[in-house]
Amino acid sequence: MIKISLERAARNPAASLSLPELPFEADGMEIARRTISNWPGYAPSPIRDLSDLAAELDLGKIWFKDESVRFGLGSFKPLGGAFAVSRALSRHLAGETGSEAPDLLSSDMKARVASLTVTAATDGNHGRSVAWGARMFGCRCVIFVCSSVSQQRKDAIASYGAEIRQVDGSFDDAVRMADQTARKEGWFVIPDTSDGETVIAPRDVTQGYMLMVDEALEQLKGEPPVTHIFLQAGVGGMASASAARFWQAYGDKRPVTTIVEPEKCACWYESLVAGKPVAVTGDIDSAMAGLSCGEVSLIAWPVLETGADFMVTLNDDAVPVMMRYLAGRGGDDRPVIAGETGISGLAGLVAAAQDEALRKEMGLGPDSHVFVVNSEGDTDPDAYKTIVGKSASEVLGQ
């Protein structure tokens, strides 16, 4: 049996079933659905039924939303970064042309945005999404990367025509540099996190992410309601979007929600225990690279402050165990290509379900129907092959 251990676990003292006032536009979900579904290559990402793992853990169902195939970019991020680029450009063009819904894919609009620049900071996938969106719509793109970003991830971003600028320091340092440069140069900054001052673009990013759960709700029609969700959290964009959409759909019967983080950079754990945003400093690099963040997003905070019920942290040893498990064939819906960050929510579930005291406190059992997100595939192919022992194509063709 697969075995993963927790580092820490805690109940959120502020958890509530009452839906707070969400920091999103009232029609944001509809705008995201209408916009993204019209992009070339759009299709809902599949949901995998991990029946063997559910049986091993004595759970009813494990639904694994597989974002490794989204738009060929290997992660859920296009739903956020590229969508936020489209919103920034649309607002700019609406001011110029008077059209509230300009067709960004038209040659006329591409000519109008060719002189504009969008920028973002990234630890990998968000920057790739912003660069992909910029290429699709025809504007210039500059991406700031922190020192821990691998060369393959930088090359993947650059392949969409983006200029890469290296920043010494952490992801949070890169976020600040992107914001400062955008203000100085008059660029559109597209962060996936908010310091409380830059709000509109990160709000757009989060609203785009909500489409992922919106798809899942449609795909799971006819199934028993989801009882638990395990969500990996870096700055908290995907986790807050997912929790919010389930909350909208289920009301006060929302699923029990658990936030999963690397022990090295557990800013949500520390913040929710403290009851206020707390920055984690020091060595915050993790094998779960997309979660190597020391500060929570203030767009995500109002949702997860009360919408998260539990927080768990893992050490990096969980990464190879879960990646290899998903790469193997089973009687359930495997193999699945999951990267170092992509597996973390599922690893948190496995660890929690194997801890008898925590399992009981969370209410995990044979009647539980758990939703988890595979947030990325092999976005660093060399790292994936080193960990799993095979490339993604070899795994799928085995």
Query: What distances in angstroms separate CA 328 from CA 45, 321, 383, one per listed residue?
Result: 21, 11, 17
DSSP per-residue codes, 276-338: S-----S----SSGGG--SS--TTTHHHHHHH--EEEEE-TTHHHHHHHHHHS--SSS-----
Cα 329 to Cα 291: distance, rounded to the nearest angstrom: 27
Q: Which amino acid is at 390?
A: K
User: Could you tell me which of 273, 282, 218 has the C-alpha nearest to residue 43?
Assistant: 218
Instruction: Find residue 228's DSSP bridge partners.
Output: 256, 370
Pairing mode, strands 117-122 and 188-189? parallel
Cα 67 to Cα 30: distance, rounded to the nearest angstrom: 21
Cα 147 to Cα 174: distance, rounded to the nearest angstrom: 9
Active site residues: 77, 123
Pairing mode, strands 61-66 and 47-49? antiparallel
Contact 255, 227 (CB under 8 A): yes
302 Cβ contact list (under 8 Å, min separation 6): 20, 21, 22, 23
The secondary structure element, H or E, covering residue 371 is strand 369-374
Q: Which two tokens stand for residue 195?
A: 């310091």
Contact 358, 311 (CB under 8 A): no
Pairing mode, strands 256-262 and 228-232? parallel
Instruction: Find residue 49's DSSP bridge partners.
Output: 63
Contact 268, 311 (CB under 8 A): yes
